[in-house]
């Protein structure tokens, strides 16, 4: 069919879930390997030793909840304050903490980058029509909004700028900053707002597209019913052919 045959919600959701699971598995495997190469665990062990040293020196336990802290005596709270101030002025502690943050960001970003390039760029080039493993299984394809095939350059932009940078690394970077205490509820709020924005875009855009498809001018379609042309000229020729057939029918 010539018109836009968007893939159904359940097909897109199923393909997304399948690809997401594969992405997590692949990313986790790469992260473990990169972590071992850069020696991330060594810094984690050093940080643990720093905590244990200050716990022993001040007679406290850092591993308590906010509710447990509130139940402490003022004397114990003063010890926590003193220990916290001492750690924040300890150059070795600050260096270890900074290295943990930087390495965590490097490990996660590199792992996600490689995984995205393999699953969202290399495999779709092999399968054709922008199909990932999930899209191939559930009969979903990706094309330009003018009904032509997605080209490698556009697919690369869709993957690198849309899926990896905007939709993955921005929320992940914020999540890392929240986990390391650099951001508080503001980071969580931005992440939630970003997710809501994605849902809104899918609901209100004509092509039901998320950020990565809007940036690349693409749309997810039903592979079985959507006609995808190699070039714009092929599309024009097809429309002319249909027009000629309609004219021929009207002569009778």
Q: What is the pLDDT of residues 25-55, one digit of tens each?
A: 999 999 999 999 999 999 999 999 999 999 9
Residue 124: other Cβ atoms inside 10 A: 23
What tens digit of pLDDT does each residue of 140-153 get? 999 999 999 999 99
Mean residue pLDDT of the chain comes to: 91
What pLDDT does 2 receive?
Answer: 61
Per-residue CA distances from 69 to 47, 84, 111, 178 (Å): 22, 14, 37, 21
Q: How far apart are CA 211 and CA 162, in angstroms?
A: 6
- Report the candidate in 215, 162, 161, 171 with the shortest Cα–Cα distance to residue 192: 171
What tens digit of pLDDT does each residue of 48-89 get? 999 999 999 999 999 988 889 899 999 999 999 999 999 999
- Report the candidate in 197, 230, 232 with the shortest Cα–Cα distance to residue 211: 197
What pLDDT does 247 receive?
Answer: 77
């Amino acid at each position: 069919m010539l018109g836009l045959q968007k893939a159904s919600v359940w097909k897109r959701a199923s393909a997304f879930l399948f690809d997401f699971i594969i992405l997590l598995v692949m990313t986790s495997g790469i992260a473990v390997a990169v972590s071992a190469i850069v020696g991330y665990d060594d810094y984690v062990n050093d940080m643990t030793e720093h905590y244990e040293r200050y716990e022993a020196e001040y007679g406290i336990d850092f591993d308590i909840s906010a509710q447990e802290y509130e139940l402490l005596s003022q004397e114990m709270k003063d010890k926590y304050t003193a220990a916290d101030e001492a750690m924040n002025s300890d150059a070795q502690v600050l260096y270890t903490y900074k290295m943990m943050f930087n390495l965590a960001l490097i490990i996660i970003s590199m792992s996600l980058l490689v995984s995205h390039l393999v699953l969202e760029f290399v495999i779709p080039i092999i399968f054709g029509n922008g199909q990932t493993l999930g899209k191939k299984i559930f009969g979903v394809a990706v094309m330009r909004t003018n009904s032509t095939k997605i080209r490698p350059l556009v697919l690369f932009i869709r993957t690198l700028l849309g899926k990896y940078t905007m939709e993955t690394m921005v929320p992940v970077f914020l999540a890392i900053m929240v986990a390391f205490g650099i951001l508080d509820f503001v980071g969580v709020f931005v992440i939630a707002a970003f997710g809501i924005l994605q849902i809104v875009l899918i609901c209100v855009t004509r092509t039901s597209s998320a950020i990565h498809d809007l940036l690349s001018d693409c749309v997810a379609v039903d592979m079985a019913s959507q006609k995808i042309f190699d070039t714009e000229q092929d599309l024009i020729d097809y429309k002319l052919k249909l027009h000629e057939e309609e004219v021929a029918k009207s002569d009778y």
